[in-house]
């Protein structure tokens, strides 16, 4: 039977992707593990692998197509031994851009939603697949979108998980995926409309209620309703500006950080850290680095490498702070995961240094150089920039003395690092010139109370001012 290839969800928050390039063409044999296509998300370009064997019978979404919704049908694979022409002719038609089936299209029968597979692996993503089975009884004719048939609700695994977490009744959600299938954005839209509680079971004689239509999509930033585009433009002369459409990355940044400020109660703790001892140790360690035959050192430590290591160790020394908020509980971690903000054209990435408490300074340094290079090329994998407990955002290289940063969900804190500069301080009752760096920790008050946040900042400051503690 034909195998429908769906636009995969390459991360928990992905709603749409760009089909950048097909690496197989119609008629090509496909083996499990073969790279079928390259998908561009808001963060990276991913190679997507096949998980079934057969022949690529039909490509329904051409390369270069932008904003293809997750779970939209993009290709058909003829299974081994199956007639390729029949598979291509008998497969489901291409879904419209909003995910609904074409009005004149024959309805595509669906297998159970669990048949779709949207996993991500270190080597790349897997396509979403579903087998085309016989239509269930009660299917509506005419290709009308339908999310539920005979008591069965057709929804993606991600949509089901979000609905369970948010208390959304899938039976009252209008699906916008292929042929009415419910996908993640439908559940989120239903939650925003107030459909957050499953209704009581109806009486036997009661007629089933019509599905509640999904509301219109929220603004690009995902924020509460504010000024509309036309209202904002009305304040300015038409020739005073140019319009720059939002790309996927900027939309995601706007949405997630707006949500962070609305949901996570931020408070801020600022300390001044003396750098003299750290700078001397850094010079010594860099001077001792082994060199290759071309004279290139094995590592070159930056102040930021020390900051990352210090945050990792501080989290393990204050284990109650090494945690994140998870709706009805706190997740406390055994090792430190420290994200590091990397600015790129049009946005930023936050790759995560895993087990930062255990890694050497040289390992952290070389890992960050690799992350930064691949971030700027948009070649990071989702598992390299998702998760983390805290992050470091360093604007010292721009001469910024002090700032506060917005927590990156689901993390519970972020450290804003300013420039190191010479300042006059009082030591032993006399003025002295020392190099000082101002750091501000933004804390999620749901996870860190004031005293706990202060304990974490104090541990960090102690490691920065006594850096030999990072070497033992």
Cβ(26)–Cβ(85) below 8 Å: no
Instruction: At 244, list the tokens.
Output: 């720059």
Which residue is listed with tokens 């940044």? 253
Q: Which residues pair with 130 in a beta bridge?
A: 4
Q: What are phi and psi of 471, to 5 degrees?
A: -100, -5
Tens of pLDDT along the chain (472 residues) come to 788 888 888 776 678 889 989 999 998 998 888 889 988 876 677 888 887 788 888 899 999 898 899 888 898 888 887 888 887 776 544 433 334 333 333 334 333 333 333 333 334 455 555 544 433 333 433 333 445 444 567 777 677 778 887 888 888 888 887 667 788 788 888 887 775 555 444 444 444 444 434 444 444 444 455 788 888 998 999 889 999 988 888 888 888 888 899 999 999 999 999 999 999 999 999 999 999 999 999 999 999 999 999 999 999 999 999 999 998 999 999 999 999 999 988 788 999 999 999 999 999 999 999 999 999 988 888 889 999 999 999 999 999 999 999 999 999 999 999 999 999 999 899 999 999 999 999 999 999 999 999 999 999 999 999 999 999 8
Token code pair at residue 422: 């010479």
To the query of whether residue 445 is one of the catalytic residues in this protein, the response is yes
Q: Name the one residue in this structure whose structure tokens are 């450290």.
A: 415
Name the region of 300 (left: φ>0; alpha: ψ -120 to 50; beta: rest): beta
Nearest-CA neighbor of 346 among 312, 378, 318? Answer: 378
409/29 Cα distance (integer angstroms): 42
The one catalytic residue in 266, 335, 402, 445 is: 445
CA distance 336 to 63: 40
pTM: 0.59
**325 neighbors 264 (Cβ within 8 angstroms):** yes
Helix 303-317, helix 361-376: angle, nearest 10: 110
User: How far is 430 from 291, CA to CA, in rounded Å?
Assistant: 43
Q: How far apart are CA 441 and CA 264, in angstroms?
A: 14
């Amino acid at each position: 039977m034909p195998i429908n290839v769906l636009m995969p969800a390459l991360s928990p928050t992905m709603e749409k992707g760009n089909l950048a390039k097909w690496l197989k063409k119609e008629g090509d044999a496909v083996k499990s593990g073969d790279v079928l296509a390259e998908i561009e998300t808001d963060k990276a370009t991913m190679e997507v692998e096949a998980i079934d064997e057969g022949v690529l019978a039909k490509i329904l979404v051409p390369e270069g197509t932008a904003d293809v919704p997750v779970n939209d049908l993009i290709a058909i694979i003829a299974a081994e031994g199956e007639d390729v022409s029949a598979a291509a002719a008998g497969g489901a038609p291409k879904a419209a851009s909003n995910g609904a089936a074409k009005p004149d299209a024959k309805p595509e029968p669906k297998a159970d939603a669990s048949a779709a597979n949207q996993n991500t692996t270190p080597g790349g993503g897997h396509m979403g697949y579903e087998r085309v089975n016989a239509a269930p009884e009660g299917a509506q004719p005419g290709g009308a979108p339908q999310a539920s048939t005979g008591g069965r609700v057709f929804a993606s695994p991600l949509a089901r998980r979000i609905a369970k977490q948010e208390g959304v009744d899938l039976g009252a959600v209008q699906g916008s995926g292929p042929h009415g299938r419910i996908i993640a954005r439908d559940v989120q839209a239903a939650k925003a409309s107030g459909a957050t509680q499953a209704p009581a079971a109806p009486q036997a004689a009661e007629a089933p209620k019509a599905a509640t239509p999904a509301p219109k999509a929220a603004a690009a930033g995902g924020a509460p309703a504010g000024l509309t585009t036309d209202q904002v433009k009305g304040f300015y002369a038409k020739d005073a500006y140019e319009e720059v459409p939002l790309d996927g990355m900027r939309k995601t940044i706007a949405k997630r950080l707006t949500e962070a400020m609305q949901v996570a109660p931020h408070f801020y703790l600022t300390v001044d850290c003396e750098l003299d001892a750290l700078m001397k140790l850094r010079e010594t360690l860099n001077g001792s680095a082994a060199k290759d035959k071309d004279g290139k050192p094995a590592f070159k430590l930056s102040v930021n490498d020390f900051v990352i290591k210090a945050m990792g160790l501080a989290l393990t020394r204050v284990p109650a702070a090494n945690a994140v908020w998870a709706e009805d509980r706190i997740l406390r971690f055994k090792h430190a995961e420290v994200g590091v903000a990397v600015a790129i054209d049009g946005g930023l990435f936050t790759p995560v240094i895993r087990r930062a408490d255990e890694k050497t300074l040289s390992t952290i340094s070389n890992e960050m150089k690799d992350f930064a290079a691949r971030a700027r090329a948009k070649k990071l994998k989702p598992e390299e920039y998702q998760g983390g407990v805290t992050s470091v955002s360093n604007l010292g290289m721009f001469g910024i003395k002090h700032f506060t940063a917005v927590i990156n969900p689901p993390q519970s804190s972020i450290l804003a690092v300013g420039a190191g500069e010479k300042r006059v301080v009082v030591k032993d009752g006399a003025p002295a010139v020392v190099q000082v760096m101002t750091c501000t920790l933004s804390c999620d008050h749901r996870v860190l109370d004031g005293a706990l946040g202060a304990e974490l900042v104090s541990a960090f400051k102690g490691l920065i001012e006594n850096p030999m503690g990072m070497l033992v």
